[in-house]
Every structure is written in structure tokens, then in C-alpha cells.
Structure 1
Amino acid sequence: MGNNHFFLKFSPLNHQGIFLWFVGLNQCRFTISVLVWAALCYSGLPIHGADMPLEIQVYATAHQVDEYLSTPEGRSKVLEQMKVYHAGKLYLEAVRSGHKPSAETMRQSRDFFRSHGMQVSVGVATVPGGDFGIPSTNSRYSINYQAEETRKDLEELFSFCAAEFEEIMVDDFLMTDDESDMSLNARGSRSWPEYRLQLMTDVARDHMIAPARAKRSDVSVIIKYPQWYDRFHVFGYNVETGPQLFDQVWVGTETRDPETERFGYVQPTEGFINYSWLQSLSGNKIGGAWFDHLDCPETIFLMQAYQSILAGARKLTLFNLGDLMENNPVAALFLSRFERVTALAEALGQDLPQGWVALKPPHSEPGYDLYLFDYLTMLGFPLRMSGTIPSAPEVLILSTHSAQSGELRDRLMDGSLKGCKFLLTPGFLSMIDDAEIKKAFGLNPAACRSLEVIEAGQIVVNGKQVALSESSPFFDLPVVASATQSAYFSHEGRKIPIVQHLKAPAGDVYILNIHTFGEDLFGPDKELFLAPTKLQIPHWPQELADLIRSTLGTGPERNLTAKPPFGLYLYSGQRGVVTNFTDKPLQVSLPGPHGDTQQVTVPGWEYALVNFERNKP
């Protein structure tokens, strides 16, 4: 780390961890560089148990059950590798793309691992293939769930699984994009999302859960949601009925490489956002997180674990067994830093993130705010997601999604949001047609019109010219009457606002000129699920990100300064976490616990756990 020299000072934390203070000497100037929790005493812990702060699980696909578990020698090798990964639970998949391991192989594997103290459950992937399911007319991942043949296959599958196992995990293919005549006729006058949301609810209840419980009344059936939360409703993933019907909810926190197109340009924060949102909708049915090795450098694989834990996950399912058995090098960093992974879980305990509330009602259309929350978090804004408006949010982010909230108007009118700060996006403005909401936010008709896009290469922040790393698109946003502009750019002799603030009847209202992309970039011959293009938002200038954080924040985040991209997460007990999403050390200045200033250095793709006053300034 350049000219920094580090000295370690240890003090007890508890029987499983220690406080680790890094005291840095930089050009003859002492600064507190990092306050982190380290876990240097975990090596003697058991693989799993009630006293463990973190549980690691492994998922074996149907093909891998046959490849690695069909012989006694193979099962013994898998057992040893499970220990390397500190894993205490194994899922044996019963079907994928029509491939079905024999019942005997499933039983032998189940009994072997249980005899060695492992937990064993069954998984299913409802992907068409062989004699399983009628394929969709569109994507190869999807099934026609309207077809009677598909429903019979599901009933047989879930009856078998429940007869042999107490718990069933449904992998994230419980969706459909079928547009056959059969589905078209069943849809009627409904939109495709409306039809599919009801279809998949009915199928899950009547043809999966019901036959499973008919075979074993106390069987636990888990739904695993994918990570592409802003398109769930398009394919029938119902986040309202799912947590009601299923016994547990698992969350996909796969994030991939943000620099590659293979699985979409997914931001490292997407898993955190997805888990936080589904946790708000699932309550105590939330079970854990699930991520994989696909399209990941080892830094991203490790960050998937950190982001899952930061969102609240204490059970991590690794997909898949094949990568473990072949010693995929992507997992090397995760294994070498497993003590830090576990230390983060122990340090946070059962705490969930606090901070700015981003409202995303179930099934809400994102407009041009698709996956917006991932990008806001990359700027160091301390978000937590919610499907509804909490009782007393300090900051409420209202995007296109929020314009579809059925409770926003009433909450504004009854005064329960008094004292809240509001951050509005242009997408939200363009969707609002309720006169009372406009009045509450001090919006004139011109503020809520359709908008054109303008490219900007330079902006002005607090009177200072700031260059963007690349030319970036903004909306030709009008200035709202009586609003002040703290950031803008010039275009054809006009000032186009980026950040404007007005005192409105509802309170302090901030309008941020931001958008991502829209549904026009998705389709059968395009990207199906994830971010279809690269955006410059994570690399917005520090001056702009610091400005937004300082004006919108209500706690110590107001005085935090750092260069994006990085993450900031707030928790109870005067605690916070900073994550670094770059290869280089991140320098962060933030308020200390006694009114002083901490200078924090966060290594590349790592976290620092900081302690500061969580009081309003």
C-alpha cells in the first residue's frame, strides 16, 4: 500500500474473534487507517453447528450426482472436499434438463453423508429436457406450465422428492416465457406478466407443494429466486404469493463480472439489493443466499459472499459441486479469506442493514430505472430495500417503481412521512399523475413530462467544473419552480439540473437526474434477465457522489467522502461497513466515534468494519 507501514494492536472481542486495529504511518503522519473485525481464531471450529455464525452449503446438479456420487469412492472424495469448503449441507438434485439420477444413487448418497454428520436435502431444476416438461416456445430455460403433461411431470417429481427427503429446494427456473397458442388462449385479456404471475402461483400450489405434502405432511419446500429482481414479474416470479406458499425463501446473490457481457453487466451490489428486497417481503421465511462461480474472477466470487452477509444472509449455498471437485481457481480467494468471511457474519450477528429506504413494490414496472438501486449503492449510498413504506423512514428513494405504490398517496396525506427526505428520479416524475402527490412534492406540470436524453462530458458541482470519466447520458430535465441546483451541466445555453432541491409541503425533496436503461434492450434475441449494457454511473465523480450523500444523508454518511465505486452499509450499535469494488486501496474519510475523523484504507475487493456515532448531525 505505497508508503503505508502497518502496526497491529490487538484487544479482545470475544472467544471467537479479536479487534484488529491497523495504525498507519503515511509520510510521517499517523492516521487510523482501518478499524476491522478479524477472525484469526476460527480454524478450530466445526464444519457446522448452532454456534456457527455462518453455514456453508453445496448444491450438486443432477448430472453431478451421477458423476461424483455414484460410487463409494466418489462419495468419500466429495466428503473431503466439503470439509475444505467448511460445508455442512449438501443438496442432491433430482432432475435437470430431463436428467434424473437413479433413486438408488440418491438414497445411497443421502445416507452416506448423513452418517458423516452432514445435512442432506433434495433439489430440483425445472428445466425442460428428455421426458420432463413441455418446452417453452421461447427460451430454452423455460417450460410451458399450462400444458397438462408438464403438470403431471411436476406432481410425480415432487411426490418422489417428498417421499425420500424432508426438504426440497426449487432452483431458479420456476418461470415461463411460453407464448404457445395454449398459453395465449389461457392468458385471455390479461397482460403476459399478469397471466404468468397467477399461473406460476397456481402451479406451485397445486402441482408442486400439494403433491409433496400429500406424500409427507411436514415437508419443507424452498423457493429460490434468481438475482434479476427487476424482471421477476415478466416471467411469473411472484414475490407476494411465493413467500406465502413456500416454507422458506432462498435468494440468488450471483453478481458475475460487471465488465463482461456473458451474463449481463451485473454490478457487485445486485445480490445485496435482491436479498434486502426479498427479505423485506419474506420476513422470517428468508433462509439464505445462493451464488456461483460463473463469469467470476476470484475477487467477485469473494465479494458475492460479503454482499450476501451484509444483506443479512447467514446461510450460503455454493453452486455447484462440480466447481468444488475440480478445484475451480475462482474460489481460491474465498477459501484463503474464509476467516474474514465468517468474521463479518459474526460481527453483524442478526442485524439487518439500516439507511436510506428504496421503495420497490411487488411486480412494479421499472421503466428506465431498471436495476437503479445496484448503481446507487455503488456510489456509496447506504440503501436498504423495502416492498412497502416503513413506519418512519429518514430517507425515501422514489423511482419509477415507487410511482406504482398503492400506499404513497395516503402516507403523504396522513403526515406519517413528516421529517422524511425524498429522492425522486425522472422516471418517478414522468409516472406521477396524481395531483395531490404532485402538490405534496411541489411539482409543476412541466416537471412531469416525457424527457429527451442529452450527453454530458463536464458538469458543475457546487460551482466547480468537474470532468466525467466518459460522456454520460442525462435527461433534459426542467428546473422545478423554487428549486435550487447544486449540480448541473450546460447545454445550448441552458443549465440542465443534475441535483435540485426544493422545500415542499411533504418536506425536503431532491430530484436526481439519473436513469439506467429500459425494457427495449431486453428480448428473446437480446439479453433476457440482467443489465444489457455498461453504464458510467458507478464511476461518477467523487464530488457529485459526496454532494448527494452529504445533502440527503441524516447520519454519519453525511460526512463520509470517498471515490466511487464503493459500498456503505449502516447497522445498529454505531456500526458501519465499507466495501471496496476496485483493485486499488480505497481511501475513505468518515466521522469517528467521538466527533473526530477516521481515515480508513480498505484494500481492493475487501471490507472494513467501522465504528461511529449513528446520530443525526
Structure 2
Amino acid sequence: MNKIRLERFLIVSLLLCMVCNMTMQAKAYESFKVSIYVRAYEVDKMKDMHWLDSTWTVISQQLKVDKIYLETHRDLLIVDDATLEQAKKFFHDRGIETAGGITYTINEANSFETFCYSNPEHRKMVQQIAEHTAKHFDEFILDDFFFTSCKSDFEIKAKGAQSWTDYRLKLMTEAGRNLVLKPAKKINPHVKVIIKYPNWYDHFQGLGFNLEEGPQLFDGVWTGTETRDPAGNQHLQNYLSYNVIRYFDNLRPGYNGGGWVDSGGLNLGMDRYAEQLHLTMLSKTPEIILFAYNQLLGVKLSPRFRTPWQGMGTSFNYDEMTAPIRQPDGTVVQPTTMARIADVVLKQTDKLISKLGNPVGIKSYKPFHASGDDFLQNYLGMIGLPMDMHPTFPEDQQVVLLTAQAAKDPEIATKIKKQLQSGQEVVITSSLLKAIPEKIAEVSELRCTDLKALVNDFGRYGQANRDLLIPQVLYYTNDAWEMVSAGRPLRGGVSGYPILLRAPYATGNLYVLTIPDDMGNLYDYPAAALNEIRRVMSKDLGVYLEAPSKVGLFVYDNKTLVVENFNDEPVEVCVVTDDKVMKLENLEDATLLSPLPSERLDTKRAPKNSFRMLLLPHSYKAFKY
């Protein structure tokens, strides 16, 4: 009898442990995971259990977390075995998943000093770090720095007559295979090695990041979605936080693990940090990593993060983020760090994400290792053109966007003509026209020389608030047609220059979109001019915006959309659909929008419905239609 009771007791105990474990492992969010990356400096401190417990208490009381990435190396600091195992156990005991991380830097403070991958001593260290990490983790991620900027005597000799780009692409692909992947998998056959690509994707090839082979070589990729302050030296536009995820998704569908955001941009206020988190998750990525433990612990909440437009009812509410937090045990905690901002924004976004389908956009062709019109698609996203970049030419679209990057494809003229002869359309930038004039001349004899024009008047489309310097796009009269023009002035008997030019070919149309010398001047184009550009380019989406610049549109395949205002002031926006759409339903509060009375007099265009709304500063609205 005692034996039976003992068996029953053991079974019940086992079941209770299983239930307890399942409860602890439950995801903190419904639609995605939220993780924290811990630098080697902080992991090394975790040998002190008091420091580990006290710092985790500060973060975990403010932010729900699913997973922790424990870095084993940065700046020649290698965390010892015992500390790694102690930290892993600490988080496992609290129901938190763990994985590893590596930053391959010699001295990050010295202009991100990297390893020299032709130096035998450096190669040995790189391999040993990978092996050390694989001993402790079944998954680890390589932080931004698995590239090389080294120009030591070793590298100069090994490079020989090759270009730095060609040399580094081969070098880093070989290093990934032979110094990281093979050694790690020999130590731990189950280990997954993920490469995190940073946000400066248009310049990758020059430093050895190989987007053609890397996503196929590694077990997965991760995406840097930090846009921080657009005035910084990378000039990263807000929209990149969404757009770069979509691009990396298309490199190897199903293998992009998530986005990665740090505290940069908080100098502009809480909304700038919140937008980065929100836009990352609008891409429908399955996980976000918050960089880093030290920032979530050390960046204190401050009244300077409360922007002037707070209190108007904006989407991201600073007062909510600084309000006391009631814990599950009934106690109340006062938030103290930026961890609280992340928690509020991600929980708010989590409620929306499950209602959105798969993202769709205007497909833009960017061949592997191509340069030109650097990061232009992010500026276009900021003027309300949903972007979807692909490494192969899209053959299933009514409209394809080609920037100067497409010049790298030697068959681009053939692909353009095939698209146009199928009755579809191609939009090229003035930069691509200048790069391959002979190939474009096979369609239409257009020219873009070194001549410039200073413009501010867009005629019937309105006036810019400043003078804009644009390239002069030239064409033969009656062979191509200006749809949007600009001059200084345009009216009053003074000529102008094309902003959007149409050149018919077979049953299709080739459009040239003039890009100003300063891409940021796209934001100065009058709203009516932008509306015409959006109308022409959005035919595959079935919806477009009529709005000023710095308003983003995010479209999904289940007939949902998000409209987001990146301006510091309220803006009036119209969502334009076909005439069969009779209402927009707000996904957050279920209120309905009805279309405006139709006043369209142009009978040559398909009838449309227009839905007007007011968007507060740095705020969004989401709809089903």
C-alpha cells in the first residue's frame, strides 16, 4: 500500500512540475518573442550572484522577457565556463530561454576594430571563440561585427590585385564556413549559428558581408533595425526599421529570426525609440532583441524623453510608461529605466500584430552586391510608398521599381522590355537612367546628364517650401510625357523639368522618377505631387495615400493596413481604395470610416473611394477594409 501511495505521489509531483514548467515557459507576448542581448562585459559580472539577481529584478519588474542572449566574447574579453553556466541556470530557473552571442571585435571603441582574417593568430582566436561558445549553447548569434575593415600588411598581401570588395566577400565567406560554422558544429552538432546583419545593408559588400551566400551558409539571419537619429552619420530613415526586415526576409524566406533595436534615438524623445520597436514588429517578424542589458538597466527614465506633443492622445503615451506598475503579487513598483518604455510599446503592438496578414509592397529589384541610390527605398517609404526589396527581378507585378542598383544586372534591358511588352510598367530612377543610358535608349531615348536644375514650383501640384536641386531628365517631345513637372517658377511662362516622366513602349509604360540630389528633399515635394507618384506606383496594392511626406503606409495581404505619421505635427491623410470598398474598420477600437463624397471628374481613371482621417504626431491608425 505504501508503495502504491509513493508511486501516486511521484506521478502527481511529476505532473505538478510539468505544469509549473509549462507555466514558467509560457510566452510573455502572443505574436512574438521579446529577448535581451547581454554583452560580455555584463555576462562577466554575472559571476556575482548578488549583482545578477539585483539587476535582473530591476529589468524584470518593468519588462516581460522570453529569452536572453549571453555573449561569450567582445573586445578580447572571453567569459569563463563557470560564469556562463551559472548565468544560464539563473535564467532557466526563472523560465527564460537562453542562447549565446559573439561580437568579433578587437576593440569596439577604436572605430569598431575588427579581426584580420588573413592573420593566422587572429584566425586561431576566431575559431577558439566559436568553439568555446558552442560548448555552452545550442544556438548563438554573431553580433554586427562579423565583417572586416582591417588593412594590415597581412590583408594587403593577401588581397593582391583584387578589389577590396571582391577580396573581403571571399575572405569572410571562407571565415564563416571554416572558422565559425565547421568548428562550432564539430564541438556541438546540434548548434545553430545565426549571423546578425546590421542596418547599413547597401554598403555590406565593401566590408565582406555576403548577402548572396551568407543566408544560405548560416542557420539563420537576424536584422539590425536600429534607426536611431536620422541626422546621425548613417542617415538612417525611420522606415528602415520595417524595410530592412522585409529585404532580409526575401534573401532566404523563413530564415530571418527577428529584429534588433538599441536605445539610440532616445535623445529625440521617447517616440523615436518607440517607433523603432513598433516598426520592427509591423514587419511581422517573430522575435525582437533589445540591445542591451546594460542599456535597459542604465538608461534612466527622464522628463526630457517626454516630447512636446505628448498629452494630445498620441499612440505612444509617456505618462502611461512612467506610471506605477502593479506586479502579479499585488505590489506596486515605480518604473525607473527605458525597459518600461519597451514593455508598454511591445504589449500595445502585440495586440495589433495578430490582426495583420503578410506584408506586401511595391517590389524593388536590388541585385546582390549592387550599389547606387544608397538606402533610397527608405526615403520612398517615408513618402508613403510601401517598399518590398528583392534580390531577383520580380516577374509577377504590374509595377516594378528599379533604382541605380539595377545597373549591376547585365540583362536589365531585356528584363525591362519583357515587363513592358507584357503590358506592365517599370519605374526607374533618374540615377539608373544616368548609369545605363544606352540600355534605356532601347526603350526610349532619354538622357540624364550632369546638368542640374533649381526648382521649387510644381505647377498645379503645388509649391515646395524651399529650393530643390534636381538632375535634368531630357527627352524627345511626343516620345515621352511629363506627368509631374517642376521649375523656378514653373508657371508664368518659365519652363520646367520632369519629376515623373512617362515613356510608352509596346503595351506598357516606362516611368522615370526624378530623385533630388539630396534624397531628403523628397520630403519637400508638395503633397499633390506625391499623390500622383503614389497613384502610379501602387497599382499592385489596391490602396494608396494622399498625404504630405513623412507618412508611412503598411499594407497586408488580408486587406488590413497601418498608416503612421512621422511628423512632429498632426496631418490630414486620405486612404484611397477602389470604389468597392465602402468602409474602413479601425482594428483597435472597431470604429468605422465612410468614404468621402466622390468629386472626381477624370473619367479616364478607375473610380476610387477616399477615406479621410487625422493622424496625431508620431502616431498610427490600423484598419481592415
Query: Into which bin does the TM-score normalised by the smaller protein fall?
Result: 0.7 to 0.9
Whether the 8 Å CA contact 1:392–1:417 is kept in 2: the answer is no
Q: Which residue of 2 aligns with 1:602?
A: 615
Deviation of 1:578 (Å): 0.8
2: CA distance between counterparts of 1:480 and 1:150?
59
Deviation of 1:249 (Å): 0.5
Deviation of 1:75 (Å): 2.5
Identify which range, 494-503 or 551-560, moves more after superposition: 551-560
- Higher-RCO chain (CA-CA 8 Å, sequence separation at least 6): 1
Of 174, 180, 197, the match for 1:208: 180
1:288 aligns with 2:258: yes
Distance change >3 Å, CA 407–CA 284, structure 1 → 2: farther
Deviations along 1:344-378, whole A, 9 cap, x unmatched?
32222xx4321211111110021xx1111111110
* Secondary structure, aligned partner of 1:162: helix
Distance change >3 Å, CA 128–CA 579, structure 1 → 2: same
Deviation of 1:274 (Å): 1.4
2: CA distance between counterparts of 1:89 and 1:102?
21
1: CA distance between counterparts of 2:618 and 2:469?
28
Identify which range, 476-485 or 382-391, moves more after superposition: 476-485
Q: Alignment length, in residue pairs? A: 531
Distance change >3 Å, CA 146–CA 139, structure 1 → 2: farther
Of 344, 351, 363, the match for 2:369: 363
Whether the 8 Å CA contact 1:276–1:312 is kept in 2: the answer is no
Whether the 8 Å CA contact 1:355–1:382 is kept in 2: the answer is yes
Whether the 8 Å CA contact 2:220–2:256 is kept in 1: the answer is yes
Deviation of 1:448 (Å): 3.8
1: CA distance between counterparts of 2:120 and 2:257?
32
Whether the 8 Å CA contact 1:170–1:222 is kept in 2: the answer is yes
1:340 aligns with 2:348: yes
Whether the 8 Å CA contact 1:479–1:496 is kept in 2: the answer is no
**What are the equivalent positions in structure 2 for 1:372-383 lying under 5 Å apart?**
372-383=376-387
Identify which range, 334-343 or 314-323, moves more after superposition: 334-343
**Amino acid of the residue matched to residue 236 of structure 2?**
V
Of 468, 472, 475, the match for 2:471: 475
Whether the 8 Å CA contact 1:556–1:591 is kept in 2: the answer is no
1:548 aligns with 2:533: yes
Distance change >3 Å, CA 46–CA 411, structure 1 → 2: farther
Distance change >3 Å, CA 497–CA 48, structure 1 → 2: farther
2: CA distance between counterparts of 1:497 and 1:558?
25
Distance change >3 Å, CA 494–CA 51, structure 1 → 2: closer
Deviation of 1:246 (Å): 0.6
**Amino acid of the residue matched to residue 275 of structure 2?**
M
Quote the RMSD (CA, aligned, Å): 2.6
2: CA distance between counterparts of 1:212 and 1:547?
54
2: CA distance between counterparts of 1:417 and 1:393?
13
* Secondary structure, aligned partner of 1:476: strand
Q: Which residue of 1 aligns with 2:481?
A: 484
Whether the 8 Å CA contact 1:391–1:416 is kept in 2: the answer is no
**What are the equivalent positions in structure 2 for 1:261-340 lying under 5 Å apart?**
261=232, 263-296=233-266, 297-329=269-301, 331=338, 332-340=340-348
Distance change >3 Å, CA 143–CA 548, structure 1 → 2: same
2: CA distance between counterparts of 1:302 and 1:245?
33
**What are the equivalent positions in structure 2 for 1:432-581 lying under 5 Å apart?**
432=436, 435=439, 438-439=441-442, 442-444=443-445, 447-456=446-455, 458-461=456-459, 463-464=460-461, 466-481=462-477, 482-490=479-487, 494-505=495-506, 507-515=508-516, 535-554=520-539, 560-581=545-566
2: CA distance between counterparts of 1:607 and 1:298?
15
Deviation of 1:577 (Å): 1.2
Whether the 8 Å CA contact 1:426–1:512 is kept in 2: the answer is yes
* Secondary structure, aligned partner of 1:128: strand
Whether the 8 Å CA contact 2:277–2:346 is kept in 1: the answer is no
1: CA distance between counterparts of 2:545 and 2:358?
21
1:169 aligns with 2:141: yes
Whether the 8 Å CA contact 1:54–1:342 is kept in 2: the answer is yes
**Amino acid of the residue matched to residue 375 of structure 2?**
Y
Whether the 8 Å CA contact 2:364–2:390 is kept in 1: the answer is yes
Q: Which residue of 2 aligns with 1:402?
A: 406
Whether the 8 Å CA contact 1:47–1:86 is kept in 2: the answer is no
Q: Which residue of 2 aligns with 1:70?
A: 47
**Amino acid of the residue matched to residue 486 of structure 1?**
M
Distance change >3 Å, CA 480–CA 234, structure 1 → 2: farther
Identity %: 25
Q: TM (normalized to structure 2)? A: 0.80
Q: Which has the higher Rg, Structure 1 or Structure 2?
A: 2
* Secondary structure, aligned partner of 2:196: strand
**Amino acid of the residue matched to residue 345 of structure 2?**
R
Whether the 8 Å CA contact 1:395–1:553 is kept in 2: the answer is yes
Whether the 8 Å CA contact 2:420–2:508 is kept in 1: the answer is no
Deviation of 1:212 (Å): 0.3
1: CA distance between counterparts of 2:481 and 2:206?
39
**Amino acid of the residue matched to residue 511 of structure 2?**
Y
- Structure 1 residue ranges without an equivalent (≥5): 1-44, 518-533, 613-617
Of 13, 30, 39, the match for 1:52: 30
Deviation of 1:207 (Å): 0.5
Q: Which residue of 1 aligns with 2:309?
A: none
* Secondary structure, aligned partner of 1:341: helix
Distance change >3 Å, CA 419–CA 354, structure 1 → 2: farther
* Secondary structure, aligned partner of 1:255: coil
Deviation of 1:450 (Å): 3.3
Q: Which residue of 1 aligns with 2:222?
A: 250
2: CA distance between counterparts of 1:120 and 1:103?
15
Whether the 8 Å CA contact 2:448–2:472 is kept in 1: the answer is no
Deviation of 1:341 (Å): 1.5
**Amino acid of the residue matched to residue 54 of structure 1?**
F
Q: Which residue of 2 aligns with 1:118?
A: 96
Deviation of 1:170 (Å): 0.2
Deviation of 1:382 (Å): 1.7
Distance change >3 Å, CA 605–CA 323, structure 1 → 2: same
* Secondary structure, aligned partner of 2:34: strand
* Secondary structure, aligned partner of 2:612: strand
- Structure 2 residue ranges without an equivalent (≥5): 1-22, 306-337, 584-594, 596-609
2: CA distance between counterparts of 1:575 and 1:323?
35
1: CA distance between counterparts of 2:96 and 2:560?
35
